[in-house]
Structure 1
Amino acid sequence: MAKELNATSPSELELTAKARTVLKAARKIFLTHGFNGATTDMIQREAGVSKSTVYAHFSTKETLFLAVIKSECEIFTASIHNISFEPGNLTENLRHLAYAYLEVALSESAVALYREVVAQAPRFPALGHMFYNSGPLVVKNKVAKYLEDAVTSGELDFKGLEIDEATGAFVALMRSELQLMHLTHPDKPITKTSIDRWIEIAIDFLVRSYGTHNTKNA
């Protein structure tokens, strides 16, 4: 049965120094042992604080786990926020964005977090919702803005396809096979050659399908 969970958790910037110490320790414990294997005693010892200090900032283990997820998502999405769209250079724009995104999405910490969220979401649906809204949706909205700018500059024409639909298809093509391989083959690291190849496949598919005569295939 799904458990009710308050999905409101403070941003790391809003936390006190002591709370950030607890959060840092919790991140290490949760990503190493998983939510079920982690205990507040383990987090307390790792942080070097009393149990009362942990509970003063985070009332339950679930609340602390939510805070870790939100903090990680903020770190993950920060890498793409400052990437700007330059009209007339669509393929290079998308390549830059794709590398920044996959560098984060395929990192060990991101994959570990993804596994935990998927494992716990059936019991805590709000946790899954917060992860999606704080991470994948932020990335999707950034890519959507890129594609919208490309339509405005005349480099793409989706011919009736909604921007949201085109964005979902592009992000899925760029990420899905690499992420699936990383999740199911932890003993086989994803190579840069594989990342390069999938990024080019995704960009080529988008440009061939919806590019205009104004699109540069750099």
Structure 2
Amino acid sequence: MTPRQKPALGRPKDPEKRQAILQAAAELFPSKGFAGVSMMEIAERAKVSKLTLYSHFTDKEDLFTQAVIDCCEQQLPASSFQPAPGLDIEQALGAIGIGFLELALDEKAISLHRMIVRQSGMDTGNAELYFKVGPARMLAEMRHFLEHAGRSGALDIPKPDLAAEHFFCLLKGLIYMRVLMGLCPPPDRAAREAHVREVVALFIAAYRPGSGRAQ
């Protein structure tokens, strides 16, 4: 060991245990609500000690935050907004669109959204936290993607923040509300892909350079 190196303190964190805790949180928070779940209950569901749980997460708010981020990253990782070189704008938007629908219509995400709406009238704090680390974070990533598309000349987008909202709202359409309310099951893969293609075509038509439609 060189003089500059310091010995590691404690045992390295186990990523499998961390994922087990996040999975337990993703199951318990939607069904019982933030206030209705204790850290001990989450530890028991994850089959870890309370000491192990607190070695990964400082408190329940930190765990809730990371559970929301993990849910988003599983279906629509941040790398989705940084497409591979050579991928055209239609393919890049299509990949983001499919990932977004997979996330929005995921059973865990739907359950979490229902819980947030159900409890928002009693406590807006958790709703604000959920929006900040979920939807707002995703909108920021999309805005950066569209800003880059504008600089490259692929699209002409004067207001990328507003365009990002439009893109995700078009993707959700009314089907998301129906699924959220339990009126129908999520559409299958073929239907999702067809919907994404329609949205992407509409979006590109609106923001194609020289279209005269971008505001």
- Could you tell me the TM-score, scaled by structure 1's length? 0.71
Partner Cα separation in structure 1 for residue 55 and residue 145 of structure 2: 42
Name which of 76, 99, 104 aligns with 2:72: 76
Conserved 8 A contact 2:171-2:199 = yes
Tell me the equivalent position of 1:193. Answer: 190
Q: How far 1:56 moved relative to its partner?
A: 10
Report the counterpart of residue 212 of structure 1 in structure 2: 209
Q: Deviations over 1:81-108 (max 9, x none)?
A: 1232346711111001111222122110
Q: Which amino acid aligns with 1:117?
A: I
Counterpart Cα distance in 1 of 2:46 and 2:86:
48
Shift of 1:142: 1.7
RMSD over equivalenced CA pairs, Å? 3.4
Q: Give the whole-Å Cα distance in 2 for the aligned partners of 1:39 and 1:71.
A: 15
Distance 2:51 2:88 in 1: 55
Runs of 5+ unmatched residues, structure 2: 1-11
Structure 1 partner of 2:159: 162
**Higher deviation after alignment, 133-142 or 78-87:** 78-87
* CA deviation profile, 1:27-82 (whole Å, cap 9, x unmatched): 322334444765667546434567899899989xxx62662343232341363312
Cross-structure match for 1:175:
172
Unaligned runs of 5+ in 1: 1-14
**Partner-residue secondary structure (3-state), 1:185:** coil
Partner of 1:92: 91
Q: Evaluate the alpha carbon distance shift between residue 164 and residue 188 of structure 1 in structure 2; reply closer, same or farther with a 3 A threshold.
A: same
Q: How much has 1:121 moved relative to structure 2?
A: 2.3
SS at structure 1 position matched to 2:77: helix
Q: Which amino acid aligns with 2:165?
A: G
Q: 1:169 to 1:39 in 2, by over 3 A?
A: same
User: Aligned partners of 2:204, 2:29: CA distance in 1, in Å?
Assistant: 41
The size of the alignment, in residue pairs, is 195
Could you tell me whether the CA contact under 8 Å between 2:105 and 2:186 is conserved in 1?
A: no
- More deviation, 48-57/73-82: 48-57
Q: Which has the higher contact order (CA 8 A, sep 6+)?
A: 1
Residue aligning to 1:111 = 110
Residue 203 of structure 1 aligns with an amino acid whose one-letter code is V
Asked if the contact 1:117/1:127 (under 8 Å) is kept, the reply is yes
